[in-house]
Amino acid sequence: MGMLRRILSENVRDYLGTYAFAIVCLVGVSLSTAFMAWILRDIVNEAFAKQRLDVIWTITGAIFIAFVVRGLGTYGQAVALAKIGNNIVARYQRRLFSHLMELGVGYLGETRSAQLAARIGQNASGIRDVLNLTITSLAKDLLTLVALVGVMLYQDWQLTLAVALVGPPVVLALRYIAKRLRSVTREAVLVNSRVYGVMQETMQGIAIVKAFTMEDQLRDKVNDLVEDAEARSNRIVRLTERTGPLTDSLAGLAVAGILAYAALQTVNSDELPGALVSFIGALLFAYDPARRLARLQVNLERAIVNARMIYEVLDIDPHQPDVPDAKELVVTKGEIRFEGVEFGYAVASPVLHNVSFVAEAGKTTALVGPSGAGKTTIVNLLPRFYDLDGGRIFIDGQDIAGVTKHSLRDAIAYVSQHPYLFEGTIRDNIRYGRPGATDEEVEQAARLAYAHDFILEQPDGYDTPVGEGGSTLSGGQRQRISIARAVIRNAPILLLDEATSALDTESEVLVQKALDDAMSGRTVLVIAHRLSTIARADKIIVMMKGRVTEQGSHSELAELENGIYARFLKLQALGIDGSENLGIQVTPVKSEVEHG
């Protein structure tokens, strides 16, 4: 009941006028149905038994009007409720997506995307169904049943009380079915989301699937999941439809008993049968709304399960809300300062231990270290993808914990080692860096990223669709579009997970040129994989096991006696692979190193 009250309180007020119109239409349907049962008495007694021709035209005209009212009311309520329902689904899909955008990276990383997609697409309809079931049940089915019971009481109150005896067994049985249905429905939704997840992953990794001949394994996995989902869906149907034999059997018993009673009454008395015919008509008309009301709890339970799963997401508080007095970040120079930073992911041991360093404004600072040293974590902490366990991070003397996330991230551009492109055109993907950018600014950013020429060679130039994840473009082309997206943002701080290690030589040269242009005049924090990038950096931060072990320029670190960085360089000069010291791999031909 609490969930039902919440859904009604959040939505009914916004659609009050349309619901009022729908209710008026439903009242018309209910009253016209009751009227047709009531007028049967006059049809039998006056038109057939007494053969009064003077009332035939009145009766037939009234019946015609009742059917017209019923038809118009049915049409009006169907259109009104469908309009409300479609708007509710769209409204909650927008609301859910907007809320997901406010949640932390940690939650989104731990939750399967297919489950979220299922909730956005499938579960949002649960709120619509709850409202439509409630309105139609109260305004149509319940009112129709009350009106028809009124007709039955008017015609024969004793028979009406006898018929009412079938109600309690139905109610008790339906409560039992609804309880069992609740858990089964939730399980079915979760299994279906797993099916969607496997299919989505297979389509996204189809090249790997075919390269490793994984088709049979994945086919068997999907078949098992689909069979599980099918079994649960069949169980839901069996539970739901159990109400049918129960209500039909009891209704058949009631109707058969009434017909037998009516026949005996007609034989043993001189009374006209109109009242009994009207009573039987009302009873038959009442069967459908009574059956729907009997199934209401079962159907409502299924809808509420879907609605509850929507609210489970909506009720998650953002992990990183802005502090109440958060200010806008003002970047004048772009100096980044880490002071005693401590951090650990929720499911793992601490990753960073007392990390302190300064990335000077307008200069490039390279992060070097083995896998697991904490380099990526540092890059993720700067835009506040996660909050610190201890210590502080400053940008131009402003603690980032005290500024709005939007202003913080607006001052940062990011280029990943694995660029991601979104559905849409090349122009759209570049413009995501700054939505208000003009076409001329988009093309200028592409030129600075050495992407303009290859873009013009595409079938539709800048308006060429990129395919899912940029599948229609090469790795180097995707990377240069990613750089153009960072360039057009024109942010004072640039974060780089060096983007050349996975590229061929020709693409690497072009991407490196684009990166050099993008880095000019900005504060750059780069996770360095190649020795050429490390050596060009103004400052190098050497990390081991979540700690800063060395920092300084290439020449300063090279001169440190027994320093990790210096030892690596000496071993390389002797032709010995000492790259395990920094978790990097030497590429002798280019005298460069790659991330291991």
Rounded CA-CA distance 485/430 in Å is 4
The confidence score (pLDDT) of residue 340 equals: 94
In the chain, count of helices (H) and strands (E)?
Answer: 24, 12
The lowest-confidence range among 5-19, 52-66, 266-280, 481-495 is: 266-280
| Residue 102 phi, psi dihedral angles, 5° rounding | -85, -15
Q: Which residue has the tokens 């394994």?
A: 217
Please give the C-alpha separations between residue 364 and each of 243, 330, 370, in angstroms, as whole numbers. 71, 20, 20
| CA–CA dist 549, 547 (Å, integer) | 6
Q: What angle do CA 176, 300, 317 make, to 5 degrees?
A: 110
| Predicted confidence (pLDDT) per residue in 161-206, tens digit | 777 776 677 667 767 776 777 667 777 777 777 777 777 777 767 7
State yes or no: pLDDT of 388 exceeds 70. yes
Cβ partners under 8 Å of residue 488, min gap 6: 430, 431, 433, 434, 437, 441, 442, 445
Give the pLDDT of residue 592: 38
The answer to whether position 110 is within a domain reads yes
Q: Is the pLDDT of residue 490 over 90?
A: no
Distances in Å between the Cα of 323 and the Cα atoms of 17, 318, 385, 404, 408 are 39, 12, 15, 8, 13
* Most confident region among 79-83, 97-101, 133-137, 574-578 by mean pLDDT: 79-83
Cα angle 71-72-78, degrees, rounded to a multiple of 5? 90
Question: What three-state secondary structure class fits 471?
Answer: coil
Per-residue pLDDT of 528-586, as tens digits, reads: 777 777 888 899 999 988 999 999 998 888 888 778 888 777 766 655 544 455 554 44
Q: Which residues pair with 372 in a beta bridge?
A: none
> For the residues 222-231, what does the mean pLDDT come to?
85
Query: What pLDDT does 587 receive?
Result: 45
Q: Give whichever of 50-54, 74-78, 300-304 has the largest mean pLDDT.
A: 74-78
Q: What is the CATH number of the domain that holds 266?
A: 1.20.1560.10
Inside any domain, residue 502: no
Contacts with 333 (C-beta within 8 Å, 6 or more apart), sequence order:
361, 362, 396, 492, 523
Read off the pLDDT of residues 284-298 as tens digits, 9 standing for 90 and up: 777 778 777 777 777
Continuous H helices in 120-214:
124-136, 143-155, 157-163, 167-204, 206-211
Residue 94 lies in a domain: yes
Q: What is the pLDDT of residue 590?
A: 39
CA distance 138 to 145: 10
* Residue 31 within a domain: yes
User: What average pLDDT does the segment 105-125 reach?
Assistant: 69
What pLDDT is stored for residue 42 in this prediction? 74
Domain count within the chain? 1
What is the pLDDT averaged over residues 516-524? 83
> Would residue 222 count as lying in a domain?
yes
User: What's the mean pLDDT when you consider all of the chain?
Assistant: 80
- Exposed/middle/buried for residue 510 (C-beta within 10 Å: 0-12, 13-18, 19+): buried
175 assigned to some structural domain: yes
Torsion angle (degrees, nearest 10) of CA 51, 55, 60, 66: -130
In a domain, 183, yes or no: yes
pLDDT band at 119; cut points 50, 70, 90? low
Contact 273, 262 (CB under 8 A): yes
Report how far Cα 150 is from the mean position of its chain's Cα atoms.
Answer: 47
Question: Quick one: pLDDT band at residue 591, thresholds 50, 70, 90?
Answer: very low
If 0-12 CB within 10 Å is exposed, 13-18 middle and 19+ buried, where does residue 420 land? exposed
From CA 275, how far away is CA 152, in angstroms rounded? Answer: 9
Quick one: DSSP state of residue 119? I
272, two tokens: 């006209």
Least confidently predicted of 124-128, 176-180, 473-477, 552-556: 176-180
Contacts of 140 (CB under 8 A, 6+ apart): 26, 29, 30, 77, 289
Structural domain includes residue 587? no
Q: In which domain, by residue range, is 206 found?
A: 2-314
What distance, in Å, lies between the first and last C-alpha atoms of the chain? Answer: 56
Least trusted range by pLDDT, from 207-211, 225-229, 435-439: 207-211
Has residue 588 got a pLDDT over 50? no
Ranking 195-209, 318-332, 372-386 by mean pLDDT, the lowest is 195-209
Give the pLDDT confidence of 33-58 residue by residue, as tens digits: 888 888 877 777 776 666 677 777 78
pLDDT at 459 over 80: yes
Query: Whole-model pTM above 0.75?
Result: no
